[in-house]
Structure 1
Amino acid sequence: MSLLPDSEPVATAPSRWERLRERALSSRVGLPLLVAALMMLLLWWWRPLLLIPGTQNLVMQGGDPYLRALMRTISASESNVLRPYHVLHGSSFVWSLDSHPNRCESISRGPNRGNCSTAAGRYQLLNSTWTALSLRYHPDRVPGETEDSSLSFQPVYQDMVVYAWLADPREWRTDFSSQLRQGKVQTVLRRLSSTWTSLGYGIESNSMSRELPGIYKRVLREELVLAGEPLED
């Protein structure tokens, strides 16, 4: 039996091969983790656009944040796609928005199955509805004209016409802005459900209909921040 103290092992520097192997292993594990973390961050940041693209910001600038939030809520149900201003009924798309597309697309389900619809754009307006509204609210309309199918259907005009329509208390015999400021979101959605049947009280509710009051509250906060108004509790 040796009486000498146990000798401590001598630390040796890792070989070049070992260093390369450790570096490769760490990069093999670390890089995917970094990519996954970045993807999660981007998903969190862009979640409204990716998950509910219909709530994307309006092209039109300015206006009452409560009505703007209402418009974004309507399109979450009516045109929940990445290009809502270009979508037709049935989810096909058009490139040109020089005027209302006026294409009658087949209705494949619901109470109107077998018919066709000219609904188009972010707010899924029929050609006849757009014609009537644009003659009253389009900024390029000619006063006194009773027919004009050439008025632009570009995104900013879709927003402007629908905004002016919703803001007109004579049209609805109620003030939507005031009701929304009082928190009566469901009252407003119910009133509008005869025009946009997917809002939860019409004949064609969809998977988004039940989510609309919550969606409205979220986008309203965004609109209030943009407008510099106090946030609701």
Structure 2
Amino acid sequence: MLLLLLGLGLASLLWWNYRHRLNWLLLPYYGDIPPLAMQGGDPYLRALMRTISASEANDPNPYTILYGGSHVADLSRHPNHCVPIVSGPNIGKCTTAAGRYQFLTSTWEEKANLYHPQPGELWLAPGYSFAPQYQDQVVYAWLSDRQSWGVDIPELLRQGELDRVLHLLSGTWTSLGYGIESNLITPSLKQIYQKMLTEEKQQP
């Protein structure tokens, strides 16, 4: 009887983990992808950023989302919650991916150190603010950095080289079509980008 109960308990846990991960992978494509919190900037890069987030953090509140679909309230710094990975090649590990662009803690600290507009308060509150506008600003500056990527991403986008850009970025954001975690949004990224670009070009 005890073994039966333990077996049922384990099965329930495995089903919960599977369903939790499945819900994350099958998040519906919201027709209205939230605008960026950041003001201004190149409409081509802004459209790319919204496209990345459509695949990586497809949620009405993307800035607060963790891997798996739960949310956090405190964005004074990166949440640094290591959430268990329940499927895919990294199953059994955990990930700290968080926010609109699913930054790992280590990646956020590295890129924020280069691009964050506000210095980190190392002795009071270690780390950099993870507020929505700063998530955007760090990614915008990173994507604009020719030395970081070896190419001029905004210029490639103007030339219509979206496939090349997505391929380049897929090593960082693995749901962009060439990585290890494509999802149901991945095949629609080109259409999403065009929709986002149209919207961004209409902004004053």
Answering whether residue 32 of structure 2 is matched by residue 67 of structure 1, we say: no
Alpha-carbon displacement from aligned partner over 1:83-104 (angstroms, at most 9, x marks no partner): 1000001111100100000000
1:69, 1:219 within 8 Å by CA — same for their partners in 2? yes
Equivalent residue, structure 2, for 1:140: 118
- Of 150, 169, 182, 2:146 maps to 169
Distance 1:82 1:198 in 2: 18
**Contact 1:58 1:72 survives alignment (8 Å):** yes
Is 1:114 aligned with 2:92? yes
- Compute the displacement of 1:149 (Å): 3.6
Provide the alpha-carbon RMSD of the alignment: 1.6
Structure number with the bigger relative contact order (C-alpha 8 A, sep ≥ 6) is 2
Offset of 1:151 from its aligned partner?
1.4
Cα separation, partners in 2 of 1:195 and 1:98, compared to 1, 3 Å: same
Q: Which amino acid is 1:159 matched to?
A: D
Report how far residue 141 of structure 1 moved. Answer: 2.0
Q: Which amino acid in 2 is paired with 1:71?
A: M
Letter aligned with residue 125 of structure 1: F
> Which one of the candidate residues 77, 80, 93 is aligned to 1:99?
77
Structure 1: runs of 5 or more not aligned: 1-49, 228-233
Q: Is the 8 A contact 1:100 1:149 kept in 2?
A: no
Q: Is the 8 A contact 2:112 2:128 kept in 1?
A: yes
- Distance, in Å, in 2 between the alignment partners of 1:66 and 1:164 is 13
2:60 aligns to what? Answer: 82
Percent identity over the alignment is: 53
Matched with 2:175 is 198
Conserved in 2, the CA contact under 8 Å of 1:193 and 1:201?
A: yes
Cα deviation, residue 52, structure 1? 1.8
- Corresponding residue of 1:41: none
Q: Which residue identity is paired with 2:150?
A: R
**Stretches of structure 2 lacking an aligned partner (at least 5 in a row):** 1-27
The structure with the largest alpha-carbon Rg is: 1
Q: Deviations over 1:128-178 (max 9, x none)?
A: 000001111000126xx8xx8431100000000000000000100001100
Q: Which residue of 2 aligns with 1:216?
A: 193
- Residue 57 in structure 1 maps to residue 35 in structure 2: yes
Cα pair 1:54 1:75 within 8 Å, conserved: no
Contact 2:109–2:127 (8 Å) recurs in 1: no
C-alpha separation in 2, matches of 1:187 and 1:54:
25
In the aligned structure 2, how far is the partner of 1:70 from the partner of 1:162?
A: 10
CA distance in 1, matches of 2:72, 2:59: 13
Residues in 1 aligned to 2:29 and 2:149: alpha-carbon distance in whole angstroms: 32
Q: What is the CA–CA distance in structure 1 between the aligned matches of 2:202 and 2:177, rounded to whole Å?
A: 27
Once superposed, which parts of structure 1, at least 4 consecutive aligned residues long, lie more than 2 Å away? Answer: none
Separation in 2, partners of 1:109, 1:83 = 24
Match of 2:7?
A: none
- The equivalent residue for 2:103 is 125
Equivalent-residue separation in structure 1 for 2:29 and 2:119 (angstroms): 36
- Normalising by structure 1, report the TM-score: 0.72
Report the alpha carbon displacement of residue 56 of structure 1 after superposing the two structures with TM.
1.3
